Amino acid sequence: MMLKKVKVSVFPAIIIMIGLNLFGQSAQDDMEIANMIRSDKFNYVLPKAMRNNNIDMWIIIDRGRGTEPLFRDFGYATSNGNGIFIFTDRGGDRIERAVLGGEPELLMESRLYDVFDSIENLRSFVAKRDPKRIAVNISSAKKLSLPEGRHLFDGLSHTDYLNLKKALGEPYASRLISAEKLISDFRSERVAGEIIEFSKVANITRRLLERALSNEVITPGKTTLLDVCWWLEEQRKKQGLERGWFPTVFLSPPDGHEISNTDRIIQPGDVLQIDWGIGRNNFFTDMKRFAYVLKENEKELPGWVQTAFDNACKIRELIRKNVRS
């Protein structure tokens, strides 16, 4: 039996054996690249994001151990947190960058920040700058819901929100607003270094998915959906990559009932789909790939599969020509 890939990507389909040192970058390389990206974001994106949203000051509290979803946009993983990041628009081309409290040693070495101070001086620090609108990482949602991605806007805990208001006192406690739109603008505009780093993760995601949907991994009549899931997980672990989510390997039989991540054995005539994302250095992918398993005497795709693929390619081209960021 053969497995024929249905390609829906702009990349050519290739199968490549990948070594363990995928990116050829050391830990120090990763840190230097991350700092270069932060510097460019602070210099070129942050001023626009704050001014377009009429934000005078942005306060982010990082308690450490990944509790603040955006900590890697500003600093490093620490046990006790980087402290309180404060970005202030004081006019001119540059946003002032300050860190109060925390474990700032690595941040000092990065030379990304202008001011280092004690957390006890928060009130006087803010009062000296007298911001009229202070953004903090809370969502503007008015009802209980679990939309994907909202965690990025909602990193401030209820306890820290109350204590921040207490520490600031009036009138500044009443000037706190959601940083939701600011965060969206700051993260959605990419600098050159981000595009390069993301392309590295995207390329390895693509390669692994195409290997997963090949006879290297799948033997029709023997391999299960879960076998493919665990193969992808093992490859991710070997490469030292982070999990975006556990691979979703599924198919949709004619009866319309989707089957995913089970011990169901892959059979000739199946149309498979994988939805998967992995990450490194603060960049995560989200990719899907399809494949058709040829039947006993088939050498080409059935007409209905080829038509679906051709139509998908047409839609892709329409999107590429008309959608702009």
* Structural domains of the chain ordered from first start: 3-20+192-322 (3.90.230.10), 56-178 (3.40.350)
pLDDT tens-digit profile of 89-135?
A: 999 899 999 999 988 888 888 899 999 999 999 999 999 999 999 99
Distances (CA, A) of 322 to 99, 311, 315: 42, 17, 11
Which of 47-56, 59-68, 241-250, 260-269: highest mean pLDDT? 47-56
Task: Give me the phi and psi of 34, to 5 degrees please.
Answer: -60, -40
pLDDT at 22: 52
Q: How far apart are CA 25 and CA 30, in angstroms?
A: 7
Selection from 169, 214, 179, 212 nearest residue 57 by Cα: 179
Report which of 233, 221, 306 is spatially closest to residue 270, judged by C-alpha positions.
Answer: 221
When pLDDT is averaged across residues 71-85 and rounded to a whole number, the result is 84
pTM of the prediction?
0.82
Mean pLDDT of the chain: 87
pLDDT in tens, 172-187: 999 999 999 999 999 9
CB 155 within 8 A of CB 67: yes
Q: For position 23, what pLDDT does the model report?
A: 55
List, for residues 133-188, the tens digit of each pLDDT value.
999 999 888 887 776 667 777 889 999 999 999 999 999 999 999 999 999 999 99
- Condensed to tens digits (0 to 9), the pLDDT of residues 214-233 reads 999 999 999 999 999 999 99
Higher pLDDT, 262 or 170: 170
Question: Cis before residue 171, ω within 30 degrees of 0?
Answer: yes
Say which DSSP state 265 is in.
B
Nearest partner of 278 among 223, 319, 235, 315, judged by Cα? 235
Question: Is 7's pLDDT higher than 90?
Answer: no
Reply yes or no on whether the pLDDT at 15 is more than 50. no
The pLDDT assigned to 256 comes to: 67
**Residue 250 contacts by C-beta under 8 Å, 6 or more apart in sequence?**
225, 258, 259, 260, 261, 272, 273, 275
pLDDT band at 254 (very low <50, low <70, confident <90, very high): low
| pLDDT classification of 52: cutoffs 50, 70, 90 | very high
Amino acid 3: pLDDT: 44
Q: Which residue is associated with the tokens 């990763």?
A: 30
Backbone angles phi, psi at 59, to 5 degrees: -115, 125
Q: Among residues of the chain, what percentage have pLDDT more than 70? A: 90
